[in-house]
Structure 1
Amino acid sequence: MEYFCHPDGAANRDTIVLRGKAAAPGTCGELVQGTIKGEPYLISCPINLWSEVEVEVREPVEYRDGLGKSCRAAQLALEYLGLPYSAVSIKRITVLPESKGMGSSTADIAATCQATARAFNRELPSEVIAAIAAKIEPSDGQMYPGITICNHLTGEPKKYLGEAPPLKLVVADPGGSVDTVLFNCRQDLASKNFQKEPMVRQAIELVTRGILTGDWEMMGRGATISAQANQVLLPKPYLAQWRQWAAEVRALGVLVAHSGTVMGMILHPNGTDAEEVAEYIGGKKPTWRVWHTSMISGGLR
């Protein structure tokens, strides 16, 4: 896919002056998402599926707005760098499905910001990229290294928990879509988040301790609690069945896209093979999209 932010520059495609590339991982929903005393908390779950972006910057031309999230990200990155806003061509290669809760928009935005900076031999800090992403829409935290707790509405990092454990995930999408922006505009969002705060607090504690101490079973329990707590806000019709299958294969736990459709299963490294689990579930639900991947540390490449 290619975006061209400034149609006025289309006739001058042979005047490319600078080029930068970057890649950002997607997510399998979140290990935890919710609020504590009304403040948003999110622990992302970066996975080994990527959005790769190449940015080409041309001579300045007349600016035209309304050309997509990636173009807005390029504009904000250039503004932060103190550079004139130029004609920007953005090419994206991604395997991340949209509107499923897999951080596709955040990955595109983050990679675009860094690719734009790299076109000028600059590198944007994760905190700056997260803040830019949050100006465009509520965002995941996969631009931060390792596994990090962040405020997904402001992009502010809260705590670095460490590198991602070497675990496999089975991911399932039963179908449907969720618009992240509309979801975060819900009138009942604050009250529903308040309702699930006790479980979210417990989930954050377990996931944090689990990652810091290498107790992956504890981490899985925390993720499962957060997934269950989110049923009051965005119910997953098949979560009970998903948890049952996870128990059958002795998974460490489950996780969900708290503002999306996908569900994930965290597998023990010495347990059932991820490909076998994916085939097992795919046989039971042939209309679902089911695949397997790995949990990885966040950060841009």
Structure 2
Amino acid sequence: MDFINCANGTAISKDVIQFKQGFAAAPGTCGELVQGVIRGEPFLVSCPVDLWSEVTVELSSEGDSVAHLDKSCRALQHSLAYLGVRANCVSMTRKSPLPEGKGMASSTADIAATCLATARACGRELPPEVIAGIAARVEPSDGQMFPGIMMINHLTGEPKRYLGQAPPLEMVIADPGGSIDSVLFNCRRDLASKNFQKEPMVRQALELVTRGLLTGDWEMLGRGTSISAQANQVLLPKQHLSLWRQWASEFRALGVIVAHSGTIMGMLMRPDGLEPREVALYIQRKKPDWKVWHTTLINGGLR
């Protein structure tokens, strides 16, 4: 659990002190179902999973400033500005199992939960569109604050298309190691040319994922996510993706998923297939230096 005090030495006004504590939780992701650029517009399709960042916000005039959650502090300040509330010193606690720099949208989860917890501390609620806009002002963000599975412009936070409800599928996730800074990644000079290069495959992937979600065809969904994962090799090659796809085939998984600007790889398991726990244990034995675990694909939305 992390504690932070976003203080700048200014006392909180008396009316602010009367506000209550606020709590909110946001899910992380297993990378993205699809990510790329179509006709010049960047987008991603969120892949929320059942791992949550929990944030509590409380007004306070005491405590030392801590900088390691500065993104959450900026989100808190943007939220207060949107709400029209003056509060220069707010304490936060965060509890999250999501690793940083891996592509599991840990920062977006922290930011989204902070926005909503701040609003609730003021007796208010914030719609997901507002939270997404605030998140995008802090850094490129995922779309797990929206209900269901959403396609968004991750640079602006603008929701583009609601694609449906998440299927009840288990997932195996592996992290071979390393980390990626999403802000620096989105500033790469070759980003536009690489995205243009992979656009035909991204179009195909988006079509399959969209149709798969619409019709409940999970095999079609898995083919789409696998195509997007492979297309991203021109932009951020994953050394072990071929092995991961081989294992997915051996386990008769529906398909693979990657963090398009991160390190993790995921595997969509069949509802009537192998036990995800056993698959995770098998991979962990084969790759003891990896971190391997399993979780569930869920609908987006904050709680």
TM-score, normalised by the number of residues in structure 2: 0.94
Once residues 134 and 66 of structure 2 are traced to their aligned partners in structure 1, the CA distance between those partners, rounded to angstroms, is: 19
Question: Structure 2 matches for 1:163-202, cutoff 5 A?
Answer: 163-202=165-204
**Residues 172 and 222 of structure 1: CA distance in aligned 2, closer, same or farther (over 3 Å):** same
Q: C-alpha separation between the residues in 2 aligned to 1:267 and 1:261?
A: 20
SS at 1:18's partner residue? Answer: coil
Which one of 79, 82, 95 corresponds to residue 80 of structure 1?
A: 82
Cα distance, 1:163 vs structure 2: 1.3
The match for 2:3 is 2
Distance in 2 (alpha carbons) for counterparts of 1:206 and 1:17: 47
**Structure 2 equivalent of residue 287 of structure 1:** 289
Correspondence 1:101 to 2:120:
no
Instruction: Label 1:66 to 1:214 Cα distance change in 2 as closer, same or farther (>3 A).
Output: closer
Render the CA deviation track for 1:212-260: whole Å, top value 9, x for unaligned: 1101110000000000000000000000000000000000000000000
Displacement after TM superposition at 1:90 (Å):
1.0
TM-superposition CA deviations, 1:71-122 (whole Å, max 9, x none):
1001000111111133111100000000000000000000000000011121
Structure 2 distance, partners of 1:17, 1:40, is 39
Q: Per the alignment, do residues 65 and 270 of structure 1 end up closer, same or farther by CA in structure 2, a change over 3 Å counting?
A: closer
Aligned equivalent of 2:208: 206
Q: Do residues 38 (structure 1) and 40 (structure 2) align?
A: yes
2:54 corresponds to: 52
CA contact (8 A) 2:80 2:118 kept: yes
The separation in 1 between residues aligned to 2:290 and 2:45, in whole angstroms, is: 26
Aligned equivalents of 2:198, 2:278: Cα separation in 1: 34
Unpaired runs of 5+ residues, structure 1, are: none
Displacement after TM superposition at 1:17 (Å) = 4.4
Deviation at 1:16, TM superposition (A): 7.5
Moved over 4 A (4+): 63-67
Cα-Cα RMSD: 2.1
Give the structure 2 partner of residue 138 of structure 1. 140
How far, CA to CA, are the matches of 2:258 and 2:66 in structure 1?
Answer: 38
Cα shift at 1:141: 0.6
Provide the C-alpha distance between the structure 2 equivalents of 1:290 and 1:94, rounded to a whole number of angstroms.
Answer: 17
CA contact (8 A) 1:58 1:86 kept: no
Structure 1's 229 and 203: CA in aligned 2 closer, same or farther, altered over 3 A? same
Structure 1 distance, partners of 2:250, 2:212, is: 22
> What amino acid is aligned across from residue 209 of structure 1 in structure 2?
R
Count of aligned positions: 297
Distance 1:166 1:125 in 2: 25
> For structure 2, which runs of at least 5 residues remain unmatched after alignment?
none
The CA distance in 1 between the partners of 2:121 and 2:277, in whole Å, is 39
3-state DSSP class of the match of 1:205?
A: helix
Matches of 2:226 and 2:66, distance apart in 1: 45
The residue correspondences of 1:244-255 to structure 2 (distance < 5 A) are 244-255=246-257
Letter in 2 for 1:244: Q
Determine if contact 1:79/1:85 at 8 Å carries over to the other structure: no
How far apart are the structure 2 equivalents of 1:268 and 1:135? 38
Question: What is the alpha-carbon distance in structure 1 between the residues aligned to residue 69 and residue 290 of structure 2?
Answer: 33
* Residue 65 of structure 1, CA deviation: 9.7
User: Which position in structure 1 is the counterpart of 2:25?
Assistant: 23
> Residues of 1 paired with 2:226 and 2:182: CA distance?
22
Distance in 2, matches of 1:269 and 1:10, equals 55
Partners of 2:19 and 2:218 in 1: how far apart? 48
TM-score by length of 1: 0.95
Maintained 8 Å contact 2:5/2:66 = no
Residue 240 of structure 2 corresponds to: 238
CA gap 1:73/1:152 in 2 versus in 1, 3 angstroms: same
CA contact (8 A) 2:176 2:289 kept: yes
| Cα contact 1:173–1:262 (8 A) shared by 2 | yes
Contact conserved, 1:17 with 1:59, CA < 8 A, in 2? no
